[in-house]
Amino acid sequence: MSIDFDTAMNAMARLNRNTIMNTQKKRILAVDDQSRNTRLVKLYLEQTNDYVVREENDARAALATAEEFQPHLILLDVMMPGMDGGELAACFKASPTLKTVPIVFLTAVVTKEEVAAGRGQVGGNSFLAKPIVLTEMAACLKHNAV
């Protein structure tokens, strides 16, 4: 009996998804149109061994990715082509399986001082100013109980 390459790859992907879903690590979805930003988040968070990070660089695909990955928290860029972070957040909140998932907005539009003045909250959502400072991200995740 022989198994073709695509069948083997699909089986490995299903096994990997099941392993990720059953792990004790917290799942973080990082959505940003700039892959270097999501890559930095992934590298930083996964080195702690507390998180599994899924990167998504296409806002239009992010809802499907989130539905499949079922994150504990979503890091979401505000300004993206095709669909901005506010529109995407509304889609997440409209989803029965994602509506309670905390969203942390990532933005270059505000300064670090504005973040501090607003205590990192706008409209009940946390936000971090870019460029992301890793210690601030860790504190934000702790604040969001992730």
Q: β-strands 26-31, 103-107: how paired?
A: unpaired
Query: Is there a domain that residue 14 lies in?
Result: no
Q: What is the pLDDT of residue 143?
A: 86
Tokens of 133: 């400072």
Q: Which residues of the chain fall below pLDDT 50?
A: 1
Q: What is the pLDDT of residue 109?
A: 72
Question: At 91, which CATH number?
Answer: 3.40.50.2300
Cβ–Cβ under 8 Å, residues 27 and 55 = no
Query: Is there a domain that residue 133 lies in?
Result: yes
Cβ–Cβ under 8 Å, residues 75 and 31 = yes
Dist. CA 124–CA 89, nearest whole Å:
12
Dist. CA 146–CA 140, nearest whole Å:
9
Q: What is the pLDDT of residue 121?
A: 55
Q: What is the pLDDT of residue 2?
A: 52
Q: What is the pLDDT of residue 1?
A: 47
Query: Is there a domain that residue 2 lies in?
Result: no
* Cβ within 8 Å of residue 144, ≥6 positions away: 73, 102, 104, 126
